[in-house]
Amino acid sequence: MEDVIDTPMILTTEAPPRAGWHRRVFSAKAAGHLLRNTIVSCCTFAFGLGLMWLLVEQAGVNKLVAAGLSFLLANTIHYIFATLWIFPGSERALGPGYVFFFANALIGMVATVALFDLSMYLMSSHYLVARVVASLFAGLVMFLLNAMLNFRTV
């Protein structure tokens, strides 16, 4: 009869290593997040554009100031949907998550306003067209930052 040595099982609470960023970004899970994010982004973006139009055309606010204000308000609304629907299951608490989301929004706002300004003044684009073009680029960067670093669900 062979000697059997009982070895105790070692339990660990460490999470398994995460897949590389490219596998996470190009996954079905990330695609679902991106789809939900796109829906919310389009709705909050339309809200932001409407608010921007009201600020510029009805209240006489400077176009760059209106772009920044409408962007920040729309992104605050976006965060509410991000925590409830876009990235369900995130373990990040609401307060720190909002701070991180807001920091990403500031990065996005700087990129959006800079691209908005370049498009509007260097290429003589209409301010609403310039805002749409700038948002396409900045929005994708903000989605990736939130999906991978803030909510960490992909």
Q: Where are the domains of the chain?
A: 27-150
The pLDDT value recorded for residue 6 is 55
The pLDDT value recorded for residue 7 is 52
The pLDDT value recorded for residue 57 is 97
pLDDT at 16 exceeding the cut of 80 = no
3-state secondary structure string across the chain: CCCCCCCCCCCCCCCCCCCCHHHHHCCHHHHHHHHHHHHHHHHHHHHHHHHHHHHHHHCCCCHHHHHHHHHHHHHHHHHHHHHHHHCCCCCCCHHHHHHHHHHHHHHHHHHHHHHHHHHHHHCCCCHHHHHHHHHHHHHHHHHHHHHHHHCCCC
pTM of the entire structure?
0.68
pLDDT > 70: percent of the chain = 86
pLDDT at 84 exceeding the cut of 70 = yes
